Amino acid sequence: MRRGVRLGVDVGDVRIGVARSDPDGLLATPVETVTRGRGDLARLRQLAREHAAVEAVVGLPRSLSGQEGPAAAKARSFADELAGVLHRDGIPVRLCDERLSTVSAEAALRGQGRKGARRRAVVDQVAAVVILQNALDTERSTGRPAGEPVASPGPDDQGEP
C-alpha cells in the first residue's frame, strides 16, 4: 500500500463531496462539501495542499451493468479539469467506479436517523468517503491503485489557478 493522504471526490451537479484518508491509507473520513461552480477547482486544490494529498480519487458513476452514461461523461470532464489544476502540484487524479456510493451514503445516514436538510448537507461527503474507502480497500487487496489514471494536461494547457 502506498503511503500518503488521498482525497476522495464525489462530483454532483450542485455539490462536490470531499473526503480524505489517513497517511497509511486505512480509513476515509469526510472533509467538506464544496459548492459546484466558480472557484470549486481552486477550493479542491487548496484542500489537496492543506492535507498534503498525494492523489485525488474522483468517483465515476456507472450503471449496474457497468455502462457509462451522461453522468459518467460529466465526471470524466470534471476529473480532466481537476487534473489540469492539480498537476502543477504533482498530484495525480484517478477515476474509480462509484456504483451505488450515493445510495450507500443515503442508507447509512438514514440508519443514523438523519433526515431532510441535515442529511442533504452531508450526503455528498459520505458518498466521497464510500468512493475513497472502496479505492483504498481495492489497493490494499490487489497491491495496485484502484481505477484508471486521468491524463495530465499537456504543457500548453494551464487549467484554472
CA–CA gap between residue 82 and residue 159 (Å, rounded)? 8
The DSSP bridge pattern shows strands 5-11 and 15-21 to be: antiparallel
Q: What is the mean pLDDT of residues 12-29?
A: 96
Domains of the chain, with CATH numbers?
A: 5-148 (3.30.420.140)
Q: Tens of pLDDT along 56-79?
A: 999 999 877 778 889 899 999 999
Q: Tens of pLDDT along 94-126?
A: 999 886 555 566 666 666 666 665 556 678 898
Per the CB < 8 A criterion, the answer to whether 21 and 136 are in contact is: yes
pLDDT of residue 109: 60
Query: Phi/psi zone of residue 100: left (φ > 0), alpha (ψ -120 to 50 degrees), beta?
Result: left
